[in-house]
Chains A and B, each alone.
Chain A
Amino acid sequence: MDLLELIKQPWPWYMAGPLIGLTVPTLLLIGNKSFGISSSLRHICAACIPADLPFFKYDWKKEAWNLFFVLGIAIGGFLATNFLKNPEPIAIASSTVTALQALGIQDFEGLMPADIFSLDNIFTLKGLIFFVLGGFLVGFGTRWAGGCTSGHAIMGISNLQIPSVIATCCFMVGGFASTHLLLPLIFKLF
Chain B
Amino acid sequence: MKSTLEQEEFVCEAPNTMKKSETGLANLKYLVVGILFGIVFVKAEIISWFRIQEMFRLQSFHMYGVIGSAVVVGMVSVFLIKKFNIKTLAGEQVVFHPKKFQKGQIYGGLLFGIGWAITGACPGPLFAQIGSGFVAVIITLLSAIAGTWTYGYLKDKLPN
Asked if A75 CB lies within 8 Å of chain B CBs, one says yes
Q: Is chain A's binding surface mostly helix, strand, loop or mixed?
A: helix
Q: Is chain B's binding surface mostly helix, strand, loop or mixed?
A: helix
Closest B residue to A8 using CB positions: B43
Query: Contact check: which of B18, B33, B127, B147 meets A26 at CB < 8 Å?
Result: B33
Q: Is there an interface contact between A144 and B118, defined as CB atoms closer than 8 Å?
A: no
Task: Give CA–CA (A19, B157) in the complex, Å.
Answer: 40
Interface string of B123-160 (1 = CB under 8 A from A): 11011111111111101111111111111110100101
Asked if A140 CB lies within 8 Å of chain B CBs, one says yes
Interface residues on A, range: 35 or more
Query: Contact check: which of A31, A156, A176 meets B26 at CB < 8 Å?
Result: A31
Asked if A81 CB lies within 8 Å of chain B CBs, one says yes
Asked if B85 CB lies within 8 Å of chain A CBs, one says no
Chain A residues close to B by CB (< 8 Å): 7, 10-42, 44-45, 49, 51, 53, 55-59, 62-66, 68-81, 84, 86, 90, 92-93, 95-96, 99-100, 108, 111-113, 116-119, 121-122, 127, 129-164, 166-180, 182-183, 186
Minimal beta-carbon separation of B22 from chain A (angstroms):
7
Q: Is there an interface contact between B18 and A78, defined as CB atoms closer than 8 Å?
A: no
Task: Give CA–CA (A13, B114) in the complex, Å.
Answer: 24
Given known pairs A16-B66, A30-B33, A63-B16, the reply for A139 and B144 (CB within 8 Å) is yes
